């Protein structure tokens, strides 16, 4: 066992987990190739990587830096940091917007109706409601943490 760990650099469980992950990835790629959507998959994959690395990463890194700068030194009683209570609801709301933006903004009405038989009514309202609940829940949690730290 020590010879294996010394030559591989980790435990056999680590190797088994990685082999399983590669097997799952190979199966997914085989399904994409068999479905005949390779070019579409590659275009979406490269586009998503480009969009993330050159647009979204600088955008959300800059927003996070701005939020950290604005909340630097701002702590509730007994040093309860506020940044994560802003960061988490913003992240979840932004991710939901990113995933569902054609439905939230009403950009896919005809295609969506043809594919599902449902209208887009309610997506924007539900996204706003989820965002409000996330922000409210985070504010309540922050208030409880401040109160607990103060007592």
Q: Is there a domain that residue 83 lies in?
A: yes
pLDDT given for residue 146 in this prediction: 87
Phi first, then psi: what are they for 75, rounded to 5°? Answer: -130, 150
Whole-prediction pTM value?
Answer: 0.65
Q: Give the residue carrying structure tokens 């030559």.
A: 7
Which residue spans within 76-126 are E strands per DSSP?
Answer: none
- In this prediction, residue 88 carries a pLDDT of 92
Q: How many domains does the chain contain in total? A: 1
Query: Using CA atoms, how far apart are residues 131 and 90, in angstroms rounded to an integer?
Result: 8
Look at residue 98 and tell me if it is in a domain. yes
What pLDDT does residue 26 have?
Answer: 95
Other C-beta atoms closer than 10 Å to the C-beta of 138 total 19
Domain span at residue 102 reads 75-151
Contact by Cβ (8 Å): 75, 148 = no
pLDDT computed for residue 20 by the predictor: 97
**Is 33 a domain residue?**
no
Q: Judge whether 22 lies within some domain.
A: no
Instruction: Specify if 149 maps to a domain.
Output: yes
Q: Tens-digit pLDDT profile for the chain (151 aa)? A: 778 888 888 888 999 999 999 999 999 989 888 887 888 888 888 998 999 899 989 998 998 888 888 777 655 555 788 888 988 999 999 999 988 988 899 888 788 888 888 888 889 999 999 999 999 999 999 999 988 887 7
């Amino acid at each position: 066992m020590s010879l294996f760990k010394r030559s591989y650099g980790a435990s056999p469980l680590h190797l088994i987990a990685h082999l399983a992950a590669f097997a799952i990835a190979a199966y997914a790629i085989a399904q994409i190739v068999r479905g005949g959507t390779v070019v579409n998959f590659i275009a979406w994959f490269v586009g998503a990587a480009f969009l993330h690395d050159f647009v979204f990463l600088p955008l959300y890194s800059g927003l996070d830096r701005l939020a950290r700068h604005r909340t630097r030194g701002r702590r509730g009683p007994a040093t309860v940091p506020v940044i994560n209570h802003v960061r988490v609801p913003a992240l979840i709301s932004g991710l939901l917007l990113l995933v569902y933006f054609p439905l939230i903004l009403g950009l896919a009405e005809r295609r969506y109706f043809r594919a599902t038989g449902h209208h887009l009514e309610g997506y924007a309202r539900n996204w706003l409601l989820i965002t409000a609940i996330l922000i409210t829940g985070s504010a309540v949690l922050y208030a409880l943490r401040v109160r607990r730290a103060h007592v």
